[in-house]
Structure 1
Amino acid sequence: MAEHFNRKASLLETVPLGSFNSLFSFTGSWKNDAAATKALAVDGYSVPLYRVKITSDELVLQESVKRAIPYIWDPPALASFIENYGTHIITSVMVGGKDEVYIKQHSSSQLSEMEFRNYVREIGNERFSDVENKSNAPPINYSEKDMTVIFRRRGGCDLVQNSVEWIKTVSSAPDVIGMTFLPIVSLVDDIPGKKHIARAIDLYLTYKPPIEELQYFLDFQVPLVWAPVPLGIAGQNRKEPVCPSLQFSLMGPKLFVSTEQVNLAPLTRPCH
């Protein structure tokens, strides 16, 4: 499903964007969210009115943006870049209205694929049929089915409950209903820092740490060299700690770590 949304946004990436996570209320890491989800579905109406897009094929980053990219693995500078400039550039915007329902089946759900499809159809009929044609069936208890159902509207008059009547109000109150993107890394020249900002962005999108804690998260992502690197093989040196303490949140307590080296005598076995 994430790849489908990415293709609609003109992206070839597989990692979900923040917009996808927001629609389905995903808040954990990509792998944890995927493991906790059995199936996803979307139903609804989209009323596109017009599109605004960048026509130039030669987009260039400003020099101030390029200068903000650190040449080394520098967590504070990388986190600051992502916070200030983001991860992607908007290349087009679709304006109009949409009324959609997003359905998430949890991994604990016992519904079969066919039963889930039937519930999705029932939810769509209940939401989007006009008042006269709505069935008299009792409302679905989503929690008993281990499903999360999210209704979202953009554009039009939200006070109008009937979907048919709501569509008529879209032209007088349009909103942004879709965007296409370009990864900001694709506009970065081949500078030494390109691989670092690309990795930092990938980690940020994959694990979704809070932006205010991103620099601390990135501080733990430096590869460690556990064995001597032979001469002639390129490798990344271990980064010296910024301070001898660990802090897992901006306002949380610090765990102080001693940086003094300790020599341990080898253990000897008693002879029998």
Structure 2
Amino acid sequence: MPLMPKVGIIGGTGFDNPDILKNRKEKKVTTPFGNPSDVLVLGEINGVQTILLSRHGRKHDIMPGNVNYRANIWALKEEGCTHIIATAAVGSLQENYKPGELVLVDNFIDRTTNRKQTFYDGEPGHPIGVCHIPVEPAYCLKTRELILKTAEELKVSLIPTGTVITIEGPRYSSKAESNVFRSWGGHIIGMTQVPEVVLAKEAGICYASVALVTDYDCWRESGEKVCVAEVMKTFSENVSKVSKFVLSIVTKIGQEKWDDTVKELQDVVNGAIMLPK
């Protein structure tokens, strides 16, 4: 029997609409790492088993540094997710990454300071060993290819690559920091990609991220500076576009064979674990 894909969607505003899923039901779960950000919302998208999880809680009351990323990813793993499609609002560090554009993230630079980035931490009840997970490539190549093909077929404007600087937050960057990040080759900046992408890799899940550019970060001499009002305005104007695109991606995932890809990811994880002697 071929592997039946199951997709987790991690996002926020715009993904709690009951019309997105068929046969929708909510499931409250806990994990060895605590509770996830919210209930899991289970259902189907065109026959593909799908789970929605609001990263910041449906009330958006969890700041980026307090998101229980380990519980979120573990909960989706335990529910059998083979894929995670993440969505996020980001700022732009480059002129040609314009507000309203979608970016298919392909790399990250971690500037977080206070987040647990592994399941293998030696605590009681947690996985045994030390996991030296490789994160190149950080994002699932086959899933990224599928997303690029879907965008082309639907004529969705999608920037095919982008390095995201992940900061601790919840504050925005200073101008000096923003210019340093630009000099490092960062294209966009956000607060949630790390450790989410790292933990998904450690869990052996095909992970891809579609980011919505909501603003130019404060490096820019002219125009509006980043602020909550501007971010939310751009997000609300584009959330429908993002939602429709993600629904199409989930449908396409259900049409592909993933046995070899999932096995390769799991082999990488198994090969990265050093067990105690």
Q: TM-score, normalised by structure 1?
A: 0.23
Q: TM-score, normalised by structure 2?
A: 0.23
Larger Rg: 1
